[in-house]
Amino acid sequence: MLQQTPVTRVIPHLEAWLDRWPTPPVMAAASTADVVRQWANLGYPRRALWLHRAAVEVTARHGGVVPRDVDALLALSGIGDYTARAVAVFAYGDRHPVVDTNTRRVLARAVEGRAQPSPPSRRDLTLMESLLPADDVDAAAFNAGAMELGATVCTARSPRCEICPLAGTCAWLAAGRPDTGDARRRQATYEGSDRQARGAVLRLLRDATPAPVPLDTVLPDWPDAQQRDRAIDSLIADGLAEADGEWISLPR
DNA sequence: CACACGTGGGT
DNA sequence: TACCCAAGTGT
């Protein structure tokens, strides 16, 4: 849930989710439709699909217990470099570099003297690894500290260097907080995008009672009919929707 | 490596 | 009001 989504928005969703499906085997037994509905408006609904798949995989391959090994974690649906190591470090206490968007920004400033991080890269893991304390517990605290510093002090918009514990050693602050430019790619415009169309279709399918609904009742007034149909097709291709003749619904 | 992929709060 | 930004991943 935390992938690309603010913590404060996740927390209530997480609590409701865990109340309903407290363990992987319990979640694995749920239907895709129920999982997508429970995901509600958290965004990136493919994550709900992946989380459900991961629960099925954990149940089948690991006896219902989330694995500790990073490679086993990486093999699960929707688990990438960040999440795999976050689980291994924060749930199991092992020593790995955990690099999220906050950590990347902290490293860019404190170590590289840049105002903004470079585009995400595996090098980030290498750099974090080179800074990690030798002890497991210290390494976990270092990982969490970097993330937390980026989330609360070394923020994207208005960094609070006055209260920063790294103020004495930060390369960017020492250089006078120069504007070093931003090599990151700009986020695509949402208004009028295919993503917006997908979001609108999926919202309709989530709210549809009873399901399924006739295909020709799906956003008949959408400004771009081709875009709407593209959205429907891509949702079906992703496994987020299911069509049966002239009817469509969340997957059974 | 670039790009697609949601949604809503903050400035 | 228009942006910016968010505990990323898969292709």
- Would you state the pLDDT for residue A73? 98
- Would you state the pLDDT for residue A116? 96
Helix axes A101-110 and A123-131, enclosed angle (nearest 10): 70
CB-based contact A117:A184 (threshold 8 Å): yes
- Would you state the pLDDT for residue A244? 93
Q: Distance of CA A211 to CAs A5, A205, A214, A238, Å?
A: 29, 8, 9, 19
CATH homologous superfamily for the domain A7-79: Hypothetical protein; domain 2 (1.10.340.30)
Work out if A77's Cβ lies within 7 angstroms of strand C: yes
> What are the residue ranges spanned by the domains of chain A?
7-79, 194-249
- With tokens 């790995």, the residue in question is A96
Quote the CA–CA distance of A68 and A74 in Å, as a whole number: 10
CB-based contact A45:A240 (threshold 8 Å): yes
- Would you state the pLDDT for residue A252? 86
Work out if A96's Cβ lies within 7 angstroms of strand C: no
> CA of A170 and C1' of B4: distance in angstroms?
35
Cβ-Cβ contacts under 8 Å for A74 (sequence gap 6 or more): A80, A81, A84
Quote the CA–CA distance of A139 and A133 in Å, as a whole number: 5
Tens place of pLDDT for every residue, chain A, 252 residues?
A: 999 999 999 999 999 999 999 999 999 999 999 999 999 999 999 999 999 999 999 999 999 999 999 999 999 999 999 999 999 999 999 999 999 999 999 999 999 999 999 999 999 999 999 999 999 999 999 999 999 999 999 999 999 999 999 999 999 999 999 999 999 989 999 999 999 999 999 999 999 989 899 999 999 999 999 999 999 999 999 999 999 999 999 998
Nucleotide nearest to A47 (CA to C1'): C9
Residue A61 backbone dihedrals phi, psi, to 5 degrees: -100, -20
Work out if A50's Cβ lies within 7 angstroms of strand C: yes
- Would you state the pLDDT for residue A211? 86
Q: Distance of CA A35 to CAs A9, A21, A28, A43, A132, Å?
A: 18, 10, 10, 13, 37
- Closest residue to B11 by CA to C1' distance? A157
